[in-house]
């Protein structure tokens, strides 16, 4: 005790005899250290220990519906399956009628008490009439959850000047316009019922600007800002809006077929998302309101990237990576053409 008291007295003496700016620096250092420790603890607790908001809050097992776009395969289909398993009726939305019907039949087989419906729409070509038909359908059901999952990337990495105009247009229509219009159709009902969950499925390319995927990267960055703004707009109506920061997942969109620690199967990934609703997890120290990085390895990567900073290094690395991917893709296409 004497040693501790002596140390405290020495520190007090140092502070009182030192210039004011030294005391200010010490205070700032203490604040930064405490903030870092708090953020680190938040990331670990949210990612590995704390449960997310129960889906019953949004009408699970009470007759509510989940609307899932891009639901014919991959992550979208998995969201439809798992939300059905949690007690939601499911409206599956995509452009391929046959695949939608197959997914709906699979849900009925696994969960006999769950109602399903399908709505066919090509978001790359949707006009006012197409969106009006979708709006009419969602107006007839109690929507508790909306998953804006539909998305499109580039056929291969390419510089903007080498990207077909039609490809750029489709990416914007699907990733931006579809999210806006489907949310616009669903949100009024959620506001009337004073409950709802909107999940906007984002991408690492939105968090780290990605050269040679510039259009796609920009549309995914839009989702983060849109989600933060919308979340504040509807908070008073007890509606949760969450931008789900997705890194690599085995899917057609990512063109990755083999799972790894950093690249989960859709089943694992969706289970993590639905289990961590309302928690930022890996995004807890990033300063991005309404953003979550729920899958554990993605959360740790997001945390490390946030702590290290160095965005210009990430952009440089991503550029080099996409240059390599493009070279391999062109070489493969040339061999196939021979």
Q: Are the C-beta atoms of 85 and 113 separated by less than 8 Å?
A: no
Q: Is 216 a catalytic residue?
A: yes
Instruction: Judge whether 203 is annotated as a binding position.
Output: yes
Rounded distance, CA 273 to CA 8, Å?
Answer: 47
Rounded distance, CA 39 to CA 63, Å?
Answer: 38
Q: Which residue out of 38, 131, 159, 216 is catalytically annotated?
A: 216
> Which residue numbers are catalytic?
216
Q: Which residues are annotated as a binding site for substrate?
A: 203
Q: Which residues are annotated as a binding site?
A: 203
């Amino acid at each position: 005790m004497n040693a501790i008291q002596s140390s405290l007295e020495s520190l007090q003496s140092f502070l009182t005899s030192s210039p004011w700016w030294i005391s200010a620096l010490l205070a700032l250092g203490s604040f930064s250290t405490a903030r870092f420790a708090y953020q680190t603890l938040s990331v670990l607790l949210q990612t590995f220990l704390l449960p997310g908001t129960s889906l019953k809050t949004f009408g699970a097992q009470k007759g509510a519906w989940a609307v899932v776009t891009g639901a014919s395969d991959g992550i979208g289909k998995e969201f439809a399956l798992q939300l059905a398993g949690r007690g939601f009726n499911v409206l599956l939305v995509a452009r391929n009628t046959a695949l939608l019907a197959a997914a709906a039949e699979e849900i009925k087989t696994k969960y006999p008490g769950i109602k399903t419906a399908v709505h066919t729409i090509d978001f790359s070509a949707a006009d006012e009439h197409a969106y009006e038909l979708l709006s009419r359908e969602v107006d007839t059901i109690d929507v508790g959850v909306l998953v804006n999952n539909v998305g499109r990337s580039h056929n291969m990495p390419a510089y903007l000047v080498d990207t077909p105009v039609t490809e750029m247009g489709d990416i914007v229509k699907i990733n931006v316009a579809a999210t806006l219009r489907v949310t616009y159709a669903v949100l009024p009902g959620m506001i009337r019922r004073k409950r709802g969950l909107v999940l906007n499925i984002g991408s690492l390319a939105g968090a780290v600007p990605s050269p040679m995927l510039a259009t796609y990267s920009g549309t995914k960055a839009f989702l983060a800002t849109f989600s933060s703004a919308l979340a504040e707009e509807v908070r008073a109506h007890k509606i949760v809006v969450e931008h789900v920061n997705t890194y690599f997942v085995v899917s057609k969109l990512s063109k990755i077929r083999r799972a790894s620690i950093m690249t989960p199967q859709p089943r694992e990934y969706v289970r993590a998302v639905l289990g961590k609703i309302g928690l930022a997890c890996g995004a807890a120290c990033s300063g991005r309101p309404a953003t979550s990085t729920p899958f554990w390895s993605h959360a740790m990567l997001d945390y490390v990237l946030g702590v290290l900073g160095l965005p210009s290094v990430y952009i440089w690395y991503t550029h080099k990576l996409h240059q390599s991917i493009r070279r391999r893709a062109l070489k493969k296409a040339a061999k196939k053409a021979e």
